[in-house]
Amino acid sequence: MKNYVKIILQPKKDRSLRLFHPWVFSGAIAKVDGDPKEGDIVEVYSHENEYMATGHFHNGSIKVRLFSFTKTDCSEEFWYSKFKKAYDNRERLGIIGNTKTNIYRLIHAEGDGMPGLIIDIYGSVAVIQTHTVGMHEQKEHFVSALKKIYGTTLEAIYDKSAETMSKQNSLIMENSFLYGSQSESEVFENDIKFYVNWVEGQKTGFFIDQRENRQLLANYSKGKRVLNTFSYSGGFSMYALAAGATEVHSVDSSKKPVNFL
């Protein structure tokens, strides 16, 4: 097992970690046993020197973002196990292997025990977006895990972290393909087809988190005239049309009207 810098907590500041909260704030720290740099892996201990968790060190009010509550060497196998757990959870929920939808979020930061990491799947392509130096430095493990889990069905992995990393850490970098080179694809959500370009599009390419809201709009659209303002990709418009709207008017981000009749 590797030796990591120890973060010692103030007395009675370990309760949140015992409840598996993923953050350690600066005010909870009594002592840093070493000189960790931004993104370094550190271990957190109670004031009584009891191991509590492992995470990435940060220069900010949130000093440590935790990704494990058991001792770990943070090996490739460790990261693979976390990815596989996230994959299996979504498979059980019917998100993976869904014949009507092949767009979904595989890794949702703290929700999957990996603060600072987002990975969205668009059919045969994975788009990675890191928000912390620590997660960015583990990219090679993420690529390995994705290829191992998806096998030949995975055609490309795109790192779209330049903007998020520059905002959080003032790092200058460029987005790039970590595997393959597919920059766009026709994918589907609830049997509605979308053309997604993760290289030029916002976020990771599409607003996946609005899937349920798009479906909700569809429930009220039959026989209606619909105005979709600030439509970006026209997702809500497509759902309204598919649900039987008689007329749909959209305005994209450039304020140009787009009509769907």
Nearest residue to 34 via CA among 8, 71, 10, 13: 8
Token digits of residue 153: 């069905």
Task: Report residue 91 CA to chain centroid gap.
Answer: 17
N-terminal to C-terminal alpha carbon distance within the chain? 63
When pLDDT is averaged across residues 221-247 and rounded to a whole number, the result is 91
* 233 sits in which H/E element: none
In percent, how much of the chain has pLDDT > 90? 79
- Residues 108, 179: Cα–Cα separation, whole Å: 21
**What pLDDT is stored for residue 166 in this prediction?**
80
**What pLDDT is stored for residue 185 in this prediction?**
83
Q: What is the pTM of this model?
A: 0.90
In CATH, the architecture of 76-197 is 2-Layer Sandwich (3.30)
- Residues 57, 68: Cα–Cα separation, whole Å: 13
Ranges of beta strands (E only) in 92-183 are: 103-108, 117-122, 125-130, 156-159, 176-179
pLDDT at 203 over 90: no
**What pLDDT is stored for residue 254 in this prediction?**
56
pLDDT band at 96 (very low <50, low <70, confident <90, very high): very high
Token digits of residue 28: 């909870």
- Residues 13, 11: Cα–Cα separation, whole Å: 6
**What pLDDT is stored for residue 253 in this prediction?**
60
pLDDT band at 170 (very low <50, low <70, confident <90, very high): low
> Where in the chain are the domains?
5-68, 76-197, 210-260
Least reliable range by pLDDT among 6-20, 57-71, 112-126, 244-258? 244-258
Class of domain 5-68: mainly beta
pLDDT at 161 over 90: yes
The per-residue pLDDT for range 135-159, each reduced to its tens digit, is: 999 999 999 999 999 999 999 999 9
**What pLDDT is stored for residue 89 in this prediction?**
97
